[in-house]
Chains A and B, each alone.
Chain A
């Protein structure tokens, strides 16, 4: 991509085409246009009250910012991991199951339906954060310490994760009846916008601040681009890779809190199923190279919401939840073909040919 920057181009549309955020933005615009033509009522937002009597806004757009939030939070961590280690963590779904299971274990103790919580929600969340970060550290040690390819290293936790989650709660499915626990996946009383969106916003703000005011972005990118040179420049690639996995663990714990709070319970084999694939797609859709190096956090986050937009659109057209993936796959393939460097070069060449007569005259 850097090769293309050499060509001077003052055309604002041309530079937009080259900007990384173009891919998710184009996908979003396409989806919006498609929905506008097919059924404009897609964008309708209605004001009403839910069963608890809280004012809520409902509609497809609300569903998107609600359900896309966990994915967006995971996309933050996944982008960092991808950029630093040039590989992806495929264990996030399993890790969410573990973190959620630990959360419920602390809240409910050994009872399956406690009348009152055994610990404050905040403490339970902290414990699940620590556990999720420990599992992240496990992945990090395998990748950074033992130099195992990320996908293979995280395959271990992917295989064992849901089993460990079931083992933590002795295969029981505890149910939290406490009202205040449902806030994180539902609504804060009096505010009609779903809470997960606010949690996601907080995460974005923190990430933005960290990337803006620390050297983390520079370090991660340099390790991702060339490990040897960054070591020669005084960085420790192993520590940086390791820390991205721990950070992903933190994102996993936040996503797990939202996921578990939505249902007030957990289902070990179903919770966050296939979310690792969606998170990786979000990173790819954001135009980030999956083999590491430079990254654009905003594009990844936008990519996550675009995926949720697609999912919601498909549901709107009565696509079965199991058949959803076939349509998703077609969209993804179309996107990656469109954004593949080889195809882009060919398109650019074709574009040049079209304008060739003009430029020849110009040179003469």
Chain B
């Protein structure tokens, strides 16, 4: 790609043309997010001028960021995992029951969360990679199982009163200089919850994993073309297995972060989280066909999704249905734009290679 279009190397058009698919889609998402935030700051003012609004979006969506990271990884490898929402609910319910009814320790709860995630990842990964069952069906069953188990563990939703946990839940990390004055003129520090730090750490780790390691590149290779990945010597089965395993573990971590944010166990927690995670991954430039995607894009996908919900509610469209419709409309626009860009690039790429072959 880098060799083509050498005539106008520094022009914007050629630079866009030289970008890889992944980078192009990611930059579109980041630009859209920034433009939306800027528009909100200019036209809506009030809340959006405070940095805390951004931090609140992060606080509320930390678990979704973690879930979406896992989802992106699986999607890049060419699969899908729709069990993440169910696992989140199961983790929060199990931890809640363990902490409150059995007087457990917080560390134990974290281990339970990781264990559940690991178990789901192992089993689903094995079924998808080694028994070659369609990932959609396997994880669909996983979702059903997790949701059902949540009710079997405990039917009624309840708040957790465990002291050590509540302390952890209310721990806030203050951010200097970005605070604001409230109505009474008292200075309030800006803060984020622990979950946000975990989420950002995971984003960083996943970014490094996908960008600079051999394993990371093999995910792209398998998602792009399984056959050629096999011929290049990539262990396709192990890679697919690994993607589901990591996604499962991240779902466990995401579940615990969600639990830390809401502090309660309920069977209806995180309903639809899997669809939100898929939507954010897609908005972030990951393609379901596999081989294309970027973790930074996913992060901004989650943020864009949350931002548009915030904007819709602060504009005054209070009715619940507007949220669903705007998210769907946004998803629709992104999908169509992606599809058009991809087909356009394919066409121009073909024309270019034809020209080259004729020239040479």
Contact = CB atoms under 8 A, between A and B. Distances in A.
Interface of A: 88, 142, 146-149, 151-153, 155-164, 166-167, 171, 277, 280-281, 284, 290-291, 320, 322-330, 332-333, 336-337, 340-343
Contact of B321 (A88, A142, A163): A163
Contact of B133 (A88, A155, A164, A337): A337
A147 B339 CA distance: 7
Interface of B: 80, 127, 130-134, 136-138, 140-145, 147-149, 151-152, 155, 267, 275, 278-279, 282, 288-289, 319-325, 327-329, 331-332, 335-336, 339-340, 343
A163 B339 contact: no
A166 B137 contact: no
Contact of B335 (A152, A171, A325, A342): A152
Given A147-B339, A324-B148, A329-B145, 12 more contacts: A161-B324, A322-B148, A322-B151, A323-B151, A326-B151, A327-B148, A329-B142, A332-B144, A336-B138, A342-B130, A342-B132, A343-B131
A156 to B, nearest CB: 5
Given A322-B267, A329-B142, A147 B343 contact: yes
Nearest 4 interchain pairs by C-beta: A326-B148, A160-B328, A163-B324, A163-B321
Contact of A280 (B140, B151, B155): B140
Interface centre among A280, A326, A330, A332 (most CB of B within 10 A): A326
Interface centre among B80, B127, B145 (most CB of A within 10 A): B145
A318 to B, nearest CB: 13
The SS class assigned to the B binding surface is: helix
A343 B130 CA distance: 10
A326 B329 CA distance: 33
Nearest to A150: B288
B331 A159 contact: yes
A339 B132 CA distance: 11
A158 B271 CA distance: 13
A160 B329 contact: yes
16 contacts: A147-B343, A156-B331, A158-B275, A159-B275, A160-B329, A163-B322, A163-B324, A167-B321, A171-B321, A322-B267, A327-B148, A329-B145, A332-B137, A333-B141, A337-B133, A340-B133
Nearest to B339: A146
B131 A148 contact: no
A281 B132 CA distance: 17
A333 B323 contact: no
Contacts of B151: 320, 322-323, 326
Contact of B320 (A163, A322, A323): A163
A329 B328 contact: no
A290 B358 CA distance: 42
Contacts of A146: 335-336, 339-340
B145 A88 contact: no
Nearest to A94: B324
Given A142-B335, A156-B335, A326-B144, A151 B321 contact: no
A280 B141 CA distance: 11
Contacts of B278: 152, 155
Contacts of B152: 323, 326
Interface centre among B80, B144, B319, B327 (most CB of A within 10 A): B144
Contacts of A153: 335
Contacts of B133: 336-337, 340
A51 B336 CA distance: 53
Contacts of A340: 131-133
Nearest to A283: B137
Contact of B141 (A158, A171, A329): A329
Contacts of B328: 156-157, 159-160, 163
Contacts of A325: 144-145, 147-148
Contacts of A158: 275
Contacts of B320: 163, 166
Contacts of A167: 319, 321, 325
A146 B133 CA distance: 28
